[in-house]
Homo-oligomer: A and B are copies of this chain.
């Protein structure tokens, strides 16, 4: 294991990235080298953990989380990444603070950052808001650092915004790499990122957007499928098309789940809200129009109900390549007959892939820790080499 770490560190050393002190907010704004460096660092950290090696590059300092939406897995992944690197977790709970009382984002960002190395933010509820908020926090701490207020510039981690969910999709990419052997092995493989029915309203678009925005870079045949009216943010189509053409892959949008599944190597059936509904929702919320919001929710749910046939069934799975496509999900899934009456996936399909989806999720803490390391250190390979040489046990063995 220690030898595996060494060879990977040699590769990492050779990758020239732009990650140091630059915030990784949207995968499609990062170079391929950036993506490869993060994945490689995450893999090295997984091996550190397995080899019982202490990976604490920090001796104290804060990892701050700001969750503007409920979260279990992302919250725990972030806490795990912080602990892995030696940082103390601190949650900015906006209900307990004065944030709601007119403080400006710029000021708060600096006030929480005097000894802070990382700020992880989840803000995925409103189209046109999440990414802007992260960019605003990023600029605020950058100014604070330039002006000598902050001794260091905390890394901003996108824990899910309205546009992208990079810690999820990078973990998904690691799962694909593990499943098919390498990133190169993804070339030419077909992935069906499809809408699926859910009884819930208002699920974010960041996962499907993030998936088509990331996987089109690796030469995959990416097919996005959804009922009419469930399109993604328009810019994503352009991004996906351009990237697919550059990487030698393809990107297409269809309105049929069956067409997407046909011969697919990978399927990712998952519900999301219609972009137009989400956009209007933000507008009504800003205007405080509660009655219109309520009507919109009803409309959204009624739209969903028309597409109960968008379910990942055994019949559909049988049409994939060899009938054995990899089923993926960011969890929790809406499982028909288990967590709801009519959901995204049939019980027997989910059951077969349940543990695989757990493994898919297991990469998230390491992806987050890798993003932290690559942002906060100019040469993460040197830091990790040093930690490997030091070779302190993560826990005492007996």
With contacts A107-B332, A149-B358 known, is A59 near B395, CB below 8 A?
Answer: yes
Residue of B nearest to A115 (CB): B80
Q: Which residues of B contact A92 (CB under 8 A)?
A: 72, 76
Contact A393 B358 (CB under 8 A): no
Query: Number of copies of this chain in the oligomer?
Result: 3
Contact B76 A90 (CB under 8 A): yes
With contacts A72-B108, A331-B107, A394-B58 known, is A77 near B114, CB below 8 A?
Answer: yes
Contact A395 B58 (CB under 8 A): yes
Contact A340 B102 (CB under 8 A): yes
Residue of B nearest to A71 (CB): B97
Contact A62 B77 (CB under 8 A): no
Q: Which residues of B contact A396 (CB under 8 A)?
A: 57-58, 377, 383, 386-387
Q: Which residues of B contact A306 (CB under 8 A)?
A: none
Q: Which of B80, B102, B354, B378 has a CB less than 8 Å from the CB of A114?
A: B80
Mark each residue of chain A from 63 to 88: 1 if its CB lies under 8 Å from any CB of chain B, else 0: 01001001111011101101111111
Contact B339 A104 (CB under 8 A): yes
Q: How far is the CA of A88 from the CA of B56 in the complex (A)?
A: 13
Which of A128-136, A279-287, A308-316, A359-367 is the interface stretch?
A: A359-367
Residue of B nearest to A60 (CB): B83
With contacts A97-B71, A365-B114 known, is A394 near B61, CB below 8 A?
Answer: yes
Q: Which residues of B contact A355 (CB under 8 A)?
A: 144, 147, 149
Q: For the complex, is A290 an interface residue (Cβ under 8 Å from B)?
A: no
Contact A376 B358 (CB under 8 A): no
Q: How far is the CA of A224 from the CA of B331 in the complex (A)?
A: 49
Contact B72 A98 (CB under 8 A): yes
Contact A72 B365 (CB under 8 A): no
Q: For the complex, is A291 an interface residue (Cβ under 8 Å from B)?
A: no
Q: For the complex, is A29 an interface residue (Cβ under 8 Å from B)?
A: no
Q: How far is the CA of A339 from the CA of B115 in the complex (A)?
A: 27
Q: Which residues of B contact A110 (CB under 8 A)?
A: 358, 361
Q: How far is the CA of A150 from the CA of B354 in the complex (A)?
A: 14
Mark each residue of chain A from 42 to 54: 1 if its CB lies under 8 Å from any CB of chain B, else 0: 0000000110001
Q: How far is the CA of A54 from the CA of B61 in the complex (A)?
A: 10
Q: For the complex, is A307 an interface residue (Cβ under 8 Å from B)?
A: no
Q: How far is the CA of A97 from the CA of B395 in the complex (A)?
A: 29
With contacts A114-B362, A339-B102 known, is A62 near B88, CB below 8 A?
Answer: no
Q: For the complex, is A3 an interface residue (Cβ under 8 Å from B)?
A: no
Q: How far is the CA of A185 from the CA of B87 in the complex (A)?
A: 39
Contact B332 A103 (CB under 8 A): yes
What are 16 A-B interface contacts by the 8 Å CB criterion? A59-B393, A60-B86, A61-B83, A62-B76, A64-B76, A70-B97, A72-B92, A72-B103, A73-B112, A76-B112, A76-B114, A88-B88, A102-B332, A103-B332, A111-B331, A377-B396
